[in-house]
C-alpha cells in the first residue's frame, strides 16, 4: 500500500482536514463524521448503543480510583492472536481497502485517516490510522502525535499502544482518541503529578507519578521540537534499562491544554498477565493497553467484571509494568 491508495477509494473520504487557517476545526469534522456514522452504519450504531449501556463500576485503589467496564464488543480485540504468523496471514483490518463499505474517514493532513472505532470503549472513540501499511512505531511519529493533539484541541486525548503491549494491529501504525479527562489517570495527574517534578529544563518538565502497581512518566512542555527531542531521549533510556533493541514496551497518553502538551508514558514489561492464560476460576481475560494502564479496566466476561477488585487490578498492573527500581534507573538516565 502506498500513500495514493486512499485516493483510489475516494468514496471512503467524508471530509479532509489540512490545517488551513479559518477552515472547519478538526473537532467539528470528527463530530460530523461521528454523527454521519451513527446514522448510516447500522452495525456501528448498534455497537455504540451497546457500549453506552455497558455496565461500569468504580473501585477505590488507595487514594486512586479505577473504573471497570463490561464490554463484550471488545472480545475480538482483547483475545486477538498477535504472533507474527497470524498477523502475516490475516488481511489488515486498518488498510483502506479492507474497511467496511459503510465506514467513512476524515483525511488528516494527507497522512492519517480518522475513523470511528467500530468496537468503542468511549463515546466518541476514534482510531487514527496511517495511510500506509507500515508497522506500529512511535519514534517516527512523535511529531504527528503532537500535531494531532494540538489540532484536536483540549476536548480530546490521543493514546498509543506499543506493538507488543495492547495494539491489536501491530503491523499498521495507528493512534486512538478518547474524550479528555475521562481516564482516572488524568484526574490523578491533576491532583498528584505536579507535586513530583524531577527536572524542568529546556522548556520540558518531567516527573514520575506513582500509582498502585505501576508508574507513569509525566512529560509536559509547550515547544514541540524540545518535546520530541526529550521523548526520543526518554525512549532511548527506557530501551537501555529494559535491554530492548526494538521500541521499548510502552503505552502513552497525550493531550494539549492551555498551550502545553502533557504526556503520560507507562513503561511495560509484559503484554498479558499470567492470569490471562490460566483456566477455570483463576482465569481473567484482561489485555492491558493504554486504557487499562490509565485506570479503566475492560472486561469481556461478566465473571471477570464482577470479580475485579483493587488488589487484583494492582496485581495485574505490577505484573505487566516495569518495577520501581527500573523506573528510578530510567529517571536517573534522563534527568
Stretch that binds Zn ion, among 31-39, 41-49, 131-139, 302-310 (CB under 5 A): 131-139
- Of the candidate spans 61-69, 127-135, 149-157, 235-243, the one that interacts with Zn ion by CB under 5 A turns out to be 127-135
What are the strands of the beta sheet with 296-299, ordered from one edge?
Answer: 56-61, 64-70, 296-299
Cell 480518522 locates to 114
Give me the 91-120 binding string for Zn ion, x by CB under 5 A, dash otherwise: -x-xx-------------------------
Residue 282, judged by CB atoms within 10 A of its CB (0-12, 13-18, 19+), counts as: exposed
Residues 169-188 that bind Zn ion (CB under 5 A): 172
Could you give the CA distance from residue 134 to residue 146 in angstroms, rounded to a whole number?
A: 19
We find the least distance from the C-beta atom of residue 78 to Zn ion, in angstroms, to be 20
Cα separation of 175 and 242, whole Å?
Answer: 24
Number of neighbours of residue 35 by Cβ within 10 angstroms: 11
Whether residue 318 contacts residue 274, with contact meaning beta carbons closer than 8 Å, is answered with no
Site string for Zn ion, 259-298 (x = CB under 5 A): ----------------------------------------
Q: Which three cell numbers stand for residue 99?
A: 474497511
Q: Which is nearer to Zn ion, 105 or 313 (CB)?
A: 105
Q: At what angle do helices 324-334 and 224-242 cross, to 10 degrees?
A: 130
Q: Which of 133, 141, 174, 271 binds Zn ion (CB under 5 A)?
A: 133
* CB 108 to Zn ion: min, Å: 16
| In the complex, minimum distance from the CB of residue 97 to Zn ion, in angstroms, rounded to a whole number | 9
How far apart, in whole angstroms, are the C-alpha atoms of residue 292 and residue 185? Answer: 10
Candidate ranges 47-55, 58-66, 166-174, 304-312; the one touching Zn ion (CB under 5 A): 166-174
Query: Smaller CB distance to Zn ion: residue 105 or 330?
Result: 105
Identify which of residues 134 and 191 has a Cβ nearer to Zn ion in the complex: 134
User: Omega before 124 cis (within 30°)?
Assistant: yes
Is 229 an interacting residue with respect to Zn ion (CB under 5 A)?
no
Positions in the binding site for Zn ion (CB under 5 A): 92, 94-95, 133, 172
Amino acid at each position: 500500500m502506498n500513500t495514493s491508495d486512499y485516493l483510489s477509494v475516494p468514496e471512503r473520504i467524508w471530509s479532509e482536514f489540512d490545517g488551513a487557517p479559518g477552515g472547519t476545526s478538526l473537532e467539528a469534522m470528527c463530530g460530523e463524521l461521528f454523527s454521519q456514522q451513527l446514522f448510516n452504519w447500522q452495525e456501528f450504531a448498534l455497537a455504540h448503543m451497546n457500549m453506552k449501556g455497558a455496565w461500569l463500576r468504580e473501585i477505590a485503589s488507595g487514594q486512586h480510583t479505577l473504573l471497570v467496564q463490561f464490554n463484550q464488543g471488545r472480545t475480538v480485540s482483547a483475545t486477538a492472536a498477535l504472533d507474527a504468523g497470524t498477523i502475516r496471514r490475516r488481511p489488515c483490518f486498518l488498510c483502506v481497502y479492507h474497511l467496511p463499505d459503510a465506514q467513512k474517514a476524515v483525511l488528516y493532513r494527507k497522512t492519517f485517516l480518522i475513523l470511528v472505532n467500530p468496537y468503542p470503549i468511549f463515546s466518541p472513540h476514534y482510531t487514527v490510522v496511517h495511510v500506509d501499511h507500515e508497522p506500529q512505531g512511535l519514534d517516527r511519529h512523535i511529531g504527528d502525535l503532537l500535531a494531532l493533539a494540538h489540532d484536536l484541541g483540549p476536548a480530546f486525548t490521543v493514546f498509543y499502544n506499543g506493538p507488543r503491549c495492547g495494539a491489536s494491529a501491530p503491523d499498521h501504525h495507528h493512534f486512538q482518541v478518547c474524550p479528555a479527562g475521562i481516564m482516572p489517570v488524568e484526574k490523578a495527574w491533576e491532583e498528584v503529578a505536579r507535586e513530583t517534578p524531577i527536572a524542568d529544563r529546556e522548556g520540558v518538565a518531567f516527573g514520575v507519578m506513582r500509582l498502585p502497581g505501576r508508574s507513569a512518566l509525566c512529560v509536559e512542555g509547550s515547544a514541540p521540537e524540545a518535546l520530541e527531542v526529550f521523548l526520543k531521549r526518554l525512549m532511548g533510556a527506557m530501551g537501555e534499562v529494559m535491554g530492548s533493541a526494538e521500541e521499548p514496551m510502552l503505552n502513552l497518553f497525550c493531550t494539549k491544554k492551555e498551550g502545553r502538551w502533557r504526556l503520560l508514558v507507562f513503561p511495560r514489561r509484559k503484554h498479558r498477565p499470567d492470569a490471562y492464560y490460566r483456566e477455570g476460576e483463576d482465569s481473567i481475560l484482561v489485555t492491558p493497553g493504554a486504557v487499562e494502564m490509565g485506570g479503566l479496566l475492560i472486561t469481556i466476561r461478566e465473571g471477570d467484571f464482577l470479580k475485579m477488585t483493587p488488589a487484583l487490578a494492582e496485581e495485574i498492573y505490577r505484573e505487566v509494568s516495569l518495577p520501581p527500581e527500573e523506573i528510578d534507573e530510567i529517571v536517573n538516565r534522563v534527568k
